[in-house]
Amino acid sequence: MARSVNKTVPTGQSVESFLSAVQPTRKAEEAWVLDAVFRNATGFAPVMWGASMIGYGRYHYRYKSGREGDFLATGFSPRKSALSIYIMPGYADFGDILTRLGKHKLGKSCLYVNKLADIDLDVLSELIRAGLKDLDQHWPVQPT
């Protein structure tokens, strides 16, 4: 049986070039702010994963099924409809932090935020650090 390969992998594309091309302008400005928040909270340099995801740190996973691969430890994507923020690997309950975050929607392993003015960026930083700490207990997180 052939093993499946992750579709989302590091690309080598310039993060700065990607952020400079984000439209509309408000979304680009927010993406630059998120980049600064993630850099500060993680201490990691950003790397493009796929066409539109910016990742900070990486981890290698190996499931009991035999599937394994590498993926971004945390990051975001400035999507058209909302900012997708990938910070919760799904292992822990971060409800206490999320109640202080502000207006957001919760996906399986990400948050959706319409605009940064809706959330508290200090709480977001706390959530990023908590997510990385939790992930590192399951799969060691490496710098990018």
Note the pLDDT tens digit of each residue in 5-61: 778 889 989 999 999 999 999 999 999 999 999 999 999 999 999 999 999 999 998
Q: Specify the pTM.
A: 0.92
3-state secondary structure of 117: helix
Structural domains in the chain, CATH included, are 15-136 (3.90.1150.200)
Q: Tell whether the model's pLDDT for residue 90 goes beyond 70.
A: no
pLDDT digits (tens, 9 = 90+) for 121-136: 999 999 999 999 999 9
Are 87 and 127 spatial neighbours (Cβ–Cβ below 8 Å)?
A: yes
Structure tokens at 120: 């508290």
CB-based burial label for 58 (10 Å; 0-12, 13-18, 19+): buried
